A and B are shown apart, each in its own frame.
Chain A
Amino acid sequence: MKTLKKLTVIILILAFSINLTACADKKKTRYEAEFLVLFDTVTKIVAYTDTKEEFTKYSQLIYDNLKEYHELYDIYHDYPGKNNIKTINDNAGKKPVKVDKKIIDLLLFSKEWYKKTDSKMNIAFGSVLKIWHDYRTAGLDNEENAKIPPMDILKKASQHTNINKLKIDEKNSTVYLEDPEMNLDVGAVGKGYATEQVSKIAEKNGFKSGLVSVGGNIRSIGNKGVDNQLWNLGIQNPDTESKNSTLKLIYVADKSVVSSGDYERYYTVNGKRYHHIIDPNTLFPSEYFSAVTIVTHDSGMADVLSTAIFNMPFEQGNKLIESLPDTEALWVTKDGKIKYSKNFDKYLNK
């Protein structure tokens, strides 16, 4: 009987202490930080913390580090005293440019994924993307005269997209574009890669659970930090006319979720939509899907893959996803059907 009493006391103490921990979690407040100025989009940070100060400290840390990446990976603006990707482009065919290691790392990562994605994600594709960008902005500004780029101009530009002419000298930390007509465009990888690096910095500094979304590319750090709950994240419905703006809810911890689609950035010529993701084979907006979403740990990898599988038939994309550990994908076909990779369903349940 004594043993029983002892046991009961132990159980009691245990039960209460478990509950006390749970209650401490319950007292955490959800904070959200937003800022506009980086990567030309809205960045959001979400976390459940005990105090606003704690949350603000991590937000500032993430902001400061993202700003550094934003300036280095910019292809449109110069920053005094800084060599960035625009500087590399401006010196194409002229001379190697000494750059920060953060740029070298991104370019090496991109080269590696160029191979892994069967050249469907090519950062040396800038000369073609620039033409589409110019025609799209002109078409949005003046719709009566909206035009699609002539194929001969696109083909000419595609002669200058050879990634092997991107010369990276790690020892001297320089980058040189051998072809004066080539242009780097890191739009399909820069944001994701930067988000990943910045999330790692935040983790090293004690940020154990949170979300970082740079323009809809989400990286989750840990779980919610409340009762061990997973993060519940939405996937945008590519049918923007639909009442349900969220296509699916998924539940994740320590994962990145990145989507690519034809539904946000496009222009219309003679009633046909032309979106912003260009298929390197056809040199025209790719026509396989309305949207794709990648779920994997590394945000840079998720960013790359979302563009790559958007530019591939389902079978090829699915094969690529299956070859990668702990990586899943969701495809939305042009007629609104959803296809999943083999183990995607594990994210659909709490």
Chain B
Amino acid sequence: MKKIISLVMSSVLAISLLAGCGSSSDSSNSTNSAPSTSASSSTAAVSSEANGDAVKTGLAVISSIANSKDAGKEDGLGQVDSTVVAVTVDKDGKIVKCAIDAAQTKINFSAAGKLTTDLKKEFKSKQELKTAYGMNKISKLGKDWNEEADAFAKYVEGKTVAEVKGIAVNAEGVPSDKELSATVTIHIADFTAAIEKAVNSAKDLGAKAGDKLGLGVTTNISKSTDAADKDGVAQAYSNYSATTFGADGKVTSCVIDASQSDVKFSKAGKITSDLKAPLKSKIELGADYGLGKVSKIKKEWFEQTEALAKYVAGKTADEIKGIAVNAEGVPSQAELTSSVTIHIGDYQAVIAKAAANAK
């Protein structure tokens, strides 16, 4: 009797286990339309068949403090001019998409070496200022800086760096090429140099030829200090992001960089920085440690920005700002990992801006 029952039991269990559930793959994500945000997500190497339309994503910044002035009767000025360019580049080295922006940060200090600009002030990029920048009053064409920069960005699309650099430039540094003179009257030397730098730094991060490209810039001066025993510092701290979006609105690649440009001044309000010294972005400084090896000390910045770039891959602009919900398959090893909190810092703002500007 017991034997029979146990036989029946075991055969029933065996049959039902075999037939009852069917394939266990039901539990995996047949509804999975969203890519996984793990390391093997959409930023992974592009498959060979799609390689034809893979493009590289590049970001470059060129900064100068040459326009800074000592304090005298009027307040002194620490002025940082940063030209920022984002590009996507195809396999032939042709620029597919280009976005140009600039941050002009003016920080005043008195003849007593005290800062007179509000350190909480938020600075807008020239693209954000649009008509507020006021160049259209003086431009012969009545166009704003952002319109002219956009026109130049449009003009270089489809060209290689050599072709861009091959534009005839008159003595003023303004293009004399017919097609362009109707739209660009500002000096393009910085644009060209930044475009070349962006193309040269471009990497294959998962973007495709048809992707939209957005450029974001944020600037604050909160780390500036008055002169005392040590020189004062007027510092423009800017974050930059070049982000590409696929047809489905999801991030396909993301590069983040930052620059801290200092203008030092004495207690007498005299500038002590070399106004001609070259200024470098954080990525460029990191690369100085040879073989792309980042110094230990810079590790935190790189970890933050890389973690963020990885985080945004495969997400839409709304998901970056709000909640991203994904159907996931079986987790790789652990459902989640307990670790020391990584702080995100201010970088999400610059990605949100890049997303808003993407075209």
Contacts and interface: CB of A to CB of B under 8 A. Distances in A.
Interface of A: 4, 7-8, 11-12, 15-16, 19-20, 22-23, 26-37, 39-42, 44, 46, 52, 55-56, 59-60, 63, 139-143, 146, 191, 211, 213-218, 224, 226, 231-236, 245-246, 249, 257-261, 263-268, 273, 291, 293
Contacts of A246: 333-334, 337
Nearest to B330: A30
B335 A29 contact: no
A59 B323 contact: yes
Contacts of B296: 268, 273
Given A19-B17, A23-B21, A46-B335, A35 B223 contact: no
B168 interface: no
A236 B336 CA distance: 10
Contacts of A142: 260
Interface of B: 1, 4-5, 8-9, 12-13, 16-17, 20-21, 24, 26-27, 29, 31, 37, 223, 260, 295-298, 300-301, 303, 307-308, 311, 320-331, 333-345, 348
Nearest to A24: B21
A259 B342 CA distance: 12
Contacts of A28: 27
A143 B129 CA distance: 34
B338 A32 contact: no
Given A19-B16, A266-B300, A233 B325 contact: no
A26 B24 contact: yes
Given A36-B348, A143-B297, A231-B335, A26 B21 contact: yes
Contact of A35 (B21, B26, B295, B323): B323
Nearest to B237: A141
B335 A236 contact: no
Contact of A19 (B5, B21, B323): B21
A234 B333 contact: yes
B341 A216 contact: yes
Nearest to B351: A36
Contacts of B327: 29-31, 52
A11 B12 contact: yes
A11 B8 contact: yes
A234 B295 contact: no
A143 B31 CA distance: 49
Given A41-B344, A59-B323, A216-B341, A211 B20 contact: no
A40 B21 contact: no
Contacts of B4: 4, 8
A267 B338 contact: no
A261 to B, nearest CB: 5
Given A7-B5, A218-B336, A34 B300 contact: no
A265 to B, nearest CB: 6
29 contacts: A4-B1, A8-B5, A16-B16, A28-B27, A29-B327, A30-B328, A30-B330, A31-B325, A33-B324, A33-B326, A39-B341, A40-B343, A42-B311, A44-B336, A46-B336, A63-B322, A140-B300, A218-B336, A224-B335, A233-B338, A235-B337, A235-B339, A236-B337, A246-B337, A249-B334, A264-B300, A265-B342, A266-B300, A267-B300
Contacts of B223: 141
Contact of B341 (A15, A226, A264): A264
B20 A16 contact: yes
A41 B342 contact: yes
B329 to A, nearest CB: 7
Given A15-B16, A30-B330, A216 B338 contact: yes
Given A31-B328, A249-B333, A236 B338 contact: yes
